Structure 1
């Protein structure tokens, strides 16, 4: 086995990706799976009486080599997929699922941990918390099942691993294989910066001229600016066709039957464990607790969001008709006319804004904000990573290393879409301890020429802040056990740090310091800054409505009997809501990767809004002090939210930070939707 897959020898403990080959992975998985099986078997078969040390603590490190191997492999499949890696992922997914089932459903482990639970009083608080979570995880995995039920649970988990891998790869194929050439006489309305990005995308694929791809940082501005309505429709249909069998991959990338089977298997899995449906199973350990609480929040916000969206749709339809276009406002019209309305109402032109929002400047803004709040220092260094564009920083405070941070910011055909935060290794205090290696991945449009500045939209800049908020949750983690460190928290709590950190992008002092013109170095004029901030809630009717549609469809999929035809159920939910025809779901079922390419956000897409209730209220804590950088509030935020991981239940952590429950008022105020109450 290539030792670099496990014993990382790069600077500051990073893997040497230049020493790793695709052919290394198959034998490494064989070796590491066998090692993990042997290590867990030794714990389960230990003849000594069960104790925290020989069972729960031992499980925390039993699979370290396998975990390190998986961290490298699944990082690469996300940021730099190749046919060889995709094939290996299809082969390894069911093997990993089978191993996970064998471990988490082992009745011997269940009995040992249950015995430890009988004598918990002498354990340290974090040890007690870890024991409780370990037992809960074993119980929810099916360790208490026997006979046919146990075998069926293992088969379901293995099949779900295959299906979720296929779903994700189908979406990636459709995204990667689609390009739409735009002729020189079809560029009307497109700003120069966007045309340059379209030409850079063409060159990256060995093509001439300019193209539109399904990279969000390219297709969204195209839909906002292209005057040619037919081209907008073609682009929009391609974007929304991902995974539905009519996309670039054709019938072989049709995710609709995959989604239906996933929903059936999840329902069966929940019932095997005694739950009425998958939503009941999934939401039990979350802050929300049950589907009724989730629906109550989403429905309350829906009332305000739909009222604003209907109001906006009426005005945008008038603009459409003023252009001489008869008929209804269509989904491919909304962004175009909304951008024109925003420009007219706020005298705001993206071409005027972008020169001040270079990637380098916004990285500086993110790091400076983290420094002012938490005293973090960032030192960039060279490392052999998966792409020459990926960058590495050492994160220190008071001269002590806290973490290594990696940033992979540019879109590539081999990278899956979206933005995310992950870790190559998490923080813990076992033995000598371990500091985290944290990754932020984005899909910004690369510059037209190497070495030229890369310009971000306001939404891109917000994404940069969002993902670094997740990174802070990992960087500042300070707990004993890896299973409860960093972002290993309830799904509807994990978005609190990320969404909270977005608020600092809106602070005038951050923009005044970092939003500098790419050519002149001049600070952004105060008038322009104020217009940007005034327009920050423009389009919230659309943004909130498209999000809520996806969240409510996800919830409906997992409540009660699973739908035989998910697309028909999706249509039913939208009809019941009275969803505006020109505002489709943010993520339609065939490419709803949050829900179907893994189990993380299944029946949990609502969690962004649940967390937003808290993040809006959390930022109010700073505003109540009259200082977005109030040191006392920042210290409390680190002490009770960012450093604690899952060492206490999320609702307890929140109350220790804020000393009261959050309310939806701050969210509605922050989104500018309160005016729709009437």
Structure 2
């Protein structure tokens, strides 16, 4: 086994990716999986009476080696996929599912954890929390079921692992393989920076001229600016057909039968555990608690968003007809006319904004904000990472090491679309694998990774320019990173972002608020050639224009959230697209505003269980983030040190060491309301 997969030898404890080959993963995976199985078996079969130390604490480190191998592998599989890595994903998925079923449904483990849980009052608060969570997770995995039910549960988990992996790979294939050549005659209306990016995308694929790919940072501005309506329709149709069987991969990448089976299996899984449906099962441990509370929130915001969207649709349709085009406003028209309206009403052009939003400047803004709030210092390091343009920094505070941060910012073929935060290792305070106890000076700091899909520079050495939405994404993902960086708990299972799904977006969405503040933009949003600060008038127009788009943005998001919830409530649909259309009809959703994530490529929901029945959580968290930022405003200083310290002490450092509602009320001393959210989106 390549030791570099578990004993990382790079600077600051990073893996040496240059010493790792694809052929190394299978033997390392098999070795560490066997070690994890042996470690768990030793705990389950121990003849000694169960205690916190020999059961709960021992379980916390049982999978350490396996986690390190998988952290490296899935980082590469998501950011730099290739056929070998896709084949390994398909091979690993059922084996990991079988292992998870074996551990999660082991009645011996369940019995030992239950015995420890009988004496919770004897344990320290963090120890009590991880014990409660361990017992809850074993129950929810099926450890308390009978033999036949456990066997069926294992079969379901194994099948779901295969299906969700295939779903994700199908979307990636359709995104990777689609290219739309755009003739010179189709460049009308496109800003120079977008044409340059299209030509760079063509060169990257060995083509001449300019092309559109399904990278969001390329196709969205194309839909906003291209005056050729037929080309907009072609590009939009390709974008929305990913995973439908009509994408670049044809029937081989058709996700409709896959997601139908996923929904049926999730329902069966929930019923085996005694729940009415998958939504009831999934929402039980979340802040929301049940589907009706979620629906109530989504419906309240939907009504406000639809009022704005209906007004916007009427105005955009009038603009369409003014161009001599009869008929209805179509989905491929909305962004184009909304952009024209934005220019007319707010005198705003992306070409005037982008020179102030270079990637390096916005990274500086992200880091400076973290320094002013939490005292963090960032120093770049040279490390052998997976691509030459991937960057890394050490993070310290008052000279003390806090974490290592890695940024992979640019789109490339074989990279999963979207943006996300992950970790190569999480913070904890334990000793080594054979010493699963708090160790003075022991443990580890987080190595956290932010992944984005920004358009790379037109030429090597030139700056990369971000859109306003890209800059928001950069701040958002670093908000997740802060949850890891500032984590200060003992146990790995409650570290960093290991919190309720509808709480995990709070730090990320809260951090976005600082991007719009004059103090941040005046210092960092400076013209890349002249050094001139972003003019105050332009900043105000950017924010106003962003608010003006909220009818569209909120409506497309809410459709996805409501469809996700509907799919998992009650009996699973035999025809998910028919169920989706029926819900949209009941809502009165505008035909010109489709779901943000079409069902066949809804990776949040079908590439794993993470956001299934949980896509609503962005809005749930937004209720809190609006209220949390108000705490800084009420203090009279958006960098108020006392409020920042309270935020770190009660939320950012605490991980999942207490229930989410308890952590929130420690910070804000009350639960939030929806008014701040509606005000922030301009929907009140």
Common fold: TM-score over 0.5: yes
For residue 627 of structure 2, the aligned residue among 617, 637, 648 is 617
Write the mapping of 1:302-317 to structure 2, written as runs, cut at 5 A: 302-317=302-317
Partner of 1:327: 327
Superposition deviation, residue 521 in structure 1:
1.5
Partner of 2:243: 243
Partner of 2:566: 556
Q: Which secondary structure does the structure 2 equivalent of 1:268 belong to?
A: helix
Partner of 2:656: 646
For residue 453 of structure 1, the aligned residue among 463, 472, 476 is 463
For residues 426 and 15 of structure 1, the distance between their equivalents in structure 2, rounded to whole angstroms, comes to 14
For residues 358 and 675 of structure 2, the distance between their equivalents in structure 1, rounded to whole angstroms, comes to 34
Superposition deviation, residue 649 in structure 1:
0.4
Superposition deviation, residue 530 in structure 1:
2.0
Superposition deviation, residue 364 in structure 1:
0.3
For residue 531 of structure 2, the aligned residue among 521, 529, 532 is 521
For residues 175 and 619 of structure 2, the distance between their equivalents in structure 1, rounded to whole angstroms, comes to 27
Write the mapping of 1:179-258 to structure 2, written as runs, cut at 5 A: 179-258=179-258
For residue 520 of structure 2, the aligned residue among 510, 522, 526 is 510
Superposition deviation, residue 536 in structure 1:
2.3
Partner of 1:533: 543
For residues 681 and 227 of structure 2, the distance between their equivalents in structure 1, rounded to whole angstroms, comes to 29
For residues 554 and 546 of structure 2, the distance between their equivalents in structure 1, rounded to whole angstroms, comes to 13
For residues 173 and 452 of structure 1, the distance between their equivalents in structure 2, rounded to whole angstroms, comes to 30
Q: Which secondary structure does the structure 2 equivalent of 1:7 belong to?
A: coil
Partner of 2:678: 668
Whether 1:144 aligns to 2:144 is: yes
Whether 1:498 aligns to 2:508 is: yes
1:266-297 Cα shifts (integer Å, max 9, x gaps): 00000000000000000000000000000000
Superposition deviation, residue 145 in structure 1:
1.1
Superposition deviation, residue 20 in structure 1:
0.3
Superposition deviation, residue 120 in structure 1:
1.3
After the TM superposition, which of the residue ranges 465-474 and 526-535 deviates more from structure 2? 526-535
Partner of 2:438: none
Superposition deviation, residue 538 in structure 1:
1.7
Partner of 1:601: 611
Superposition deviation, residue 533 in structure 1:
2.1
Q: Which secondary structure does the structure 2 equivalent of 1:424 belong to?
A: strand
Write the mapping of 1:128-527 to structure 2, written as runs, cut at 5 A: 128-431=128-431, 432-527=442-537
Aligned residues: 674
Whether 1:583 aligns to 2:593 is: yes
1:275-322 Cα shifts (integer Å, max 9, x gaps): 000000000000000000000000000000011001100000000000
For residues 587 and 272 of structure 2, the distance between their equivalents in structure 1, rounded to whole angstroms, comes to 32
RMSD over equivalenced CA pairs, Å: 0.5
For residues 193 and 276 of structure 1, the distance between their equivalents in structure 2, rounded to whole angstroms, comes to 52
Q: Which secondary structure does the structure 2 equivalent of 1:441 belong to?
A: strand
For residues 377 and 206 of structure 1, the distance between their equivalents in structure 2, rounded to whole angstroms, comes to 41
Q: Which secondary structure does the structure 2 equivalent of 1:121 belong to?
A: helix
Q: Which secondary structure does the structure 2 equivalent of 1:635 belong to?
A: helix
For residues 580 and 527 of structure 1, the distance between their equivalents in structure 2, rounded to whole angstroms, comes to 33
Q: Which secondary structure does the structure 2 equivalent of 1:238 belong to?
A: helix
Superposition deviation, residue 29 in structure 1:
1.2
Q: Which secondary structure does the structure 1 equivalent of 2:451 belong to?
A: strand
For residues 153 and 310 of structure 2, the distance between their equivalents in structure 1, rounded to whole angstroms, comes to 46
For residues 144 and 648 of structure 1, the distance between their equivalents in structure 2, rounded to whole angstroms, comes to 25
Write the mapping of 1:101-140 to structure 2, written as runs, cut at 5 A: 101-140=101-140
The normalised TM-score by structure 2 is: 0.98
Q: Which secondary structure does the structure 2 equivalent of 1:421 belong to?
A: strand
For residues 323 and 88 of structure 2, the distance between their equivalents in structure 1, rounded to whole angstroms, comes to 52
Q: Which secondary structure does the structure 1 equivalent of 2:548 belong to?
A: coil
Superposition deviation, residue 424 in structure 1:
0.3
Partner of 1:546: 556
Superposition deviation, residue 532 in structure 1:
1.4
For residues 301 and 352 of structure 1, the distance between their equivalents in structure 2, rounded to whole angstroms, comes to 33
Superposition deviation, residue 146 in structure 1:
1.6
For residues 39 and 221 of structure 2, the distance between their equivalents in structure 1, rounded to whole angstroms, comes to 52
1:118-175 Cα shifts (integer Å, max 9, x gaps): 1111110000000000000000000011221110000000000000000000000000
Q: Which secondary structure does the structure 1 equivalent of 2:121 belong to?
A: coil
Superposition deviation, residue 210 in structure 1:
0.5
Q: Which secondary structure does the structure 2 equivalent of 1:569 belong to?
A: helix
Partner of 2:435: none
For residues 6 and 18 of structure 1, the distance between their equivalents in structure 2, rounded to whole angstroms, comes to 14
1:353-389 Cα shifts (integer Å, max 9, x gaps): 0000000000000000000000000000100000001
Q: Which secondary structure does the structure 1 equivalent of 2:340 belong to?
A: helix
Superposition deviation, residue 534 in structure 1:
2.3
Q: Which secondary structure does the structure 1 equivalent of 2:112 belong to?
A: helix
For residues 352 and 44 of structure 1, the distance between their equivalents in structure 2, rounded to whole angstroms, comes to 63
For residues 119 and 547 of structure 1, the distance between their equivalents in structure 2, rounded to whole angstroms, comes to 45
Partner of 1:38: 38
For residues 49 and 492 of structure 1, the distance between their equivalents in structure 2, rounded to whole angstroms, comes to 37
After the TM superposition, which of the residue ranges 489-498 and 565-574 deviates more from structure 2? 565-574
The normalised TM-score by structure 1 is: 0.99
For residue 641 of structure 2, the aligned residue among 596, 612, 631 is 631
Which 5+ residue runs of structure 2 have no aligned equivalent? 432-441
Superposition deviation, residue 585 in structure 1:
0.2
Superposition deviation, residue 114 in structure 1:
0.2
For residues 45 and 148 of structure 1, the distance between their equivalents in structure 2, rounded to whole angstroms, comes to 22
For residues 367 and 207 of structure 1, the distance between their equivalents in structure 2, rounded to whole angstroms, comes to 38
After the TM superposition, which of the residue ranges 256-265 and 177-186 deviates more from structure 2? 177-186
For residues 390 and 148 of structure 2, the distance between their equivalents in structure 1, rounded to whole angstroms, comes to 48
Q: Which secondary structure does the structure 2 equivalent of 1:647 belong to?
A: coil
1:598-642 Cα shifts (integer Å, max 9, x gaps): 000000000000000000000010111121111111111101110
1:166-221 Cα shifts (integer Å, max 9, x gaps): 00000000000001011112100000010011011111111111100000000000
Partner of 2:437: none
